[in-house]
Chains A and B, each alone.
Chain A
Amino acid sequence: DVKVTQSSRYLVKRTGEKVFLECVQDMDHENMFWYRQDPGLGLRLIYFSYDVKMKEKGDIPEGYSVSREKKERFSLILESASTNQTSMYLCASIPGLAGAHNEQFFGPGTRLTVL
């Protein structure tokens, strides 16, 4: 059974803290993504990675960074958490170069609250 797992389902942090969200997939997928989901806004792309050590900015990268040291793991980092980063964070992966019409597999999400 294919799987994308995220390190935490719920997380509460304080303003200014450095926050790490981890995502691991067991499908040997090349492409991995981080989205944030907010009511009325749908899903918005923060960053994606198409290979180890490669990363590309998405639509809303400000305040975030990412790390992809191993193929199966894609980490989202909030350098200094702020209250406007309170959101649901979703990780996804998709196989290879011909991924345009393939299914993206999503993790269960991490609901982050920044106080």
Chain B
Amino acid sequence: GNSVTQMEGPVTLSEEAFLTINCTYTATGYPSLFWYVQYPGEGLQLLLKATKADDKGSNKGFEATYRKETTSFHLEKGSVQVSDSAVYFCALSDREQAGTALIFGKGTTLSVSS
């Protein structure tokens, strides 16, 4: 079945450091891929998405490229800020089963210090 694996946390960085959070997936169809972010005390919100191979999603300085050949969707940011401290979830949806739930990775906690 479909699954998502993302790197274990927590990830602790200093402000302005480079961030990478790895995400790989297993899917039988042609999934859409997402990164969601959960700030402390809040629900999840979409950070970025990519719906087909080689698409790059970007938002708020974060980027991720849909790599079909490596089945990956790694999240990157060139210079993190304290306000980026949150839990990040990689997720996929199966395009063959429209309307079904997302499949999430276990989440990676990012802590950025000044």
Contacts and interface: CB of A to CB of B under 8 A. Distances in A.
Interface of A: 4, 30-31, 33, 35, 40-43, 45, 48, 50, 58, 90, 92, 94, 96-101, 103-104, 106-109
Contact of B32 (A92, A97, A100): A100
A99 B93 CA distance: 9
A108 B100 CA distance: 21
Contacts of A107: 43
Given A100-B93, A101-B51, A42 B106 contact: yes
Contact of A50 (B51, B99, B105): B99
- The interface centre, meaning the residue of B45, B98, B104 with most chain A CB atoms within 10 A of its CB, is B98
Contacts, number: 64
Contacts of B46: 103-104
A100 B100 CA distance: 7
A24 to B, nearest CB: 14
Contact of A42 (B32, B41, B95, B105): B105
A11 to B, nearest CB: 15
Contacts of A97: 98-99
Interface residues of B, number: 26
A33 B43 contact: no
Contacts of B101: 33, 35, 45, 48, 58
B94 interface: yes
Contact of A30 (B32, B51, B99): B99
A8 to B, nearest CB: 13
6 nearest A-B pairs in the assembled complex, by CB-CB distance: A42-B106, A101-B32, A106-B43, A100-B98, A106-B44, A43-B104
B43 A90 contact: yes
Contacts of B93: 99-101
Contact of A108 (B42, B51, B95, B107): B42
A16 to B, nearest CB: 28
